[in-house]
Amino acid sequence: MRIYFTGGGTGGHLYPALAIARALVKLDTTVRPFFVGARRGVERDLLPATEFEHLLLDLHPLYRSRPWNNWRTVAGLARAWRSLSRAAREARPSLVVGTGGYASGAALAWAVAHRVPIALQEQNSHPGATTRFFSRYAREIYLGYDEARALLHARAGAWVGDTGNPIEPPPVPRPDRAEARRRWGFPPDRGKVLIVVGGSQGSRALNELMAGWIGESLPDDLYVIWGTGRQQHEPYAAFESPNVRVLPYLSPISEAYAASDVALSRAGALTLAELCAWGIAPVVVPLPTAAADHQTHNAVALAAAGAGVNLPQAQLTVKALGDTMAKLLADPARLERMSDAALARARPDAAAVIAQRVLLLARRSTTGSR
């Protein structure tokens, strides 16, 4: 049984699809996940390194600021349609699962036109344009934030549920925090550990902020694990010290999560899902240029649940960060409440839950049941 997964452009759309596909194969080894993405997205580099078959299409986003270039979008869609039809002649999919981004639009449109059932997974509290449009055709929709439900156009009879975002769950039992700290060279029983993550590419705004804070007023009893992003590491490597670890990329990031008490991060849906699953209270700085300002919506939802602090980038200064962190670190009871609220929002088994539903939906399609 072949199931298409389509989503990409960014890791935030691709990684959920990979998590669901891997959980699916664990449930049924006869399932053959097949990935459809764009040559222009991160999937170009990531998919060849995975265990999955894949097809990369010459897809383009809508050029809103340069509409005269939209002929590329139309031509790419036409070529993609032919490529999808050729792939389906080899093995017709039982189901197409879309996880968002412009890279998923062509495969979802092809599926709707060819009467192949579709399911959607939406990571953010404010659903993207692709998810909003295709929600009217989906048999099932899996939400990372229940707040997204009101903005969808689900058809009658469709199943729409708050499953959480599919991530790699923390191990059971959890790693010992004191031992995790020792591995980073930090005291096992003194102070707090801050993890700084700006997404897979890093965040120049957060990196500049950390450089200023470390240079001016980093507390003596705060220890930092700082992921700068691979392309931004060199200017910040000099900030390495006994209290600060500076790395281009945190991999496996679970080793950093296991040692951390608090986080400074962007408000990407998967990062927040991971932090919640580990019970790490974050100070989140939404990326102001994110599509439809979805990171702000994520941050507001998290703060409203008492599971994080929303610090808009417009208010981002070394003093603002220092004051915010000082209040948190001086109030262990508040930090614990935030951690508990984060855990309450966590769905560490989301990938397995979604995979079970996807498998049942695909089996019904294969047997002709609707």
Q: Which domains does the chain have, with CATH numbers?
A: 2-168+349-367 (3.40.50.2000), 177-345 (3.40.50.2000)
Burial of 123 (0-12, 13-18, 19+ CB in 10 A): buried
Of the two residues 202 and 355, the one the predictor is more confident about is 355
Say what the pLDDT of residue 368 is.
64
Summarised one tens digit per residue, pLDDT across range 238-288 is: 999 999 999 998 988 999 999 999 999 999 999 999 999 999 999 999 999
Contact 296, 286 (CB under 8 A): yes
Summarised one tens digit per residue, pLDDT across range 179-238 is: 999 999 999 999 999 999 987 678 999 999 999 999 988 999 999 999 999 889 999 999
Q: Which of 261, 185, 181, 246 is nearest to 210 (CA)?
A: 246
Q: What is the pTM of this model?
A: 0.84
Dihedral in degrees, nearest 10, Cα atoms 241, 244, 245, 249:
-130
Task: Give residues with Cβ within 8 angstroms of 136, minimum separation 6.
Answer: 153, 154, 155
Model confidence at 118: pLDDT above 80: yes
Residue type (1 letter), 254: S
